[in-house]
Amino acid sequence: LLEFGNIFDIANYKLSFGQPLVGENVEILSVSRETPILIRRRKEGDQLLVNGHHQKLRRWFINHKIPISLRQKALIIEQNHNILSVVGLVTSDLSQPSKSGIMKDSLYIQKIDR
């Protein structure tokens, strides 16, 4: 779990909830600061909202010809039981900035070369 204001290193990524990261290869997701963010691997039945349609993550991987080795290592960013992103691969419609301001903060994801 990643709480607001924390920085966390996992695999080849540095994740910062609410604190901007400086450098190259920084991906920014719009998130709510009200609840923590869960970082996990994929599980059966995962669904993603892409281009206004719900799609099973398994089907998305197949359609985009993602190798099995990458599927097994994929990091899932989840908040409120909704997948916001598969790090480095796809971002859900749910983590796009909204005009209403419901999404109040950002999650910064930086790829680290090790």
Would you state the pLDDT for residue 5? 87
State how far the Cα of 73 lies from the Cα of 68, in Å rounded to an integer: 9
Buried b (16+ CB within 10 A) or exposed e, 5-30: eeeeeeeebbbbbbeebeeeeebebb
pTM for the complete prediction?
0.83
Domain boundaries of the chain, sorted by first residue: 7-111
Q: What is the pLDDT of residues 21-41, one digit of tens each?
A: 988 889 888 888 888 999 999
Would you state the pLDDT for residue 69? 93
Phi–psi pair at 12, nearest 5 degrees: -105, 30
CA distances, 63 to each of 52, 55, 77 (Å): 17, 11, 20
Q: What is the pLDDT of residues 47-103, one digit of tens each?
A: 999 988 899 999 999 999 999 999 999 999 999 899 999 998 998 887 766 555 555
* Residues with Cβ within 8 Å of residue 24, at least 6 apart in sequence: none
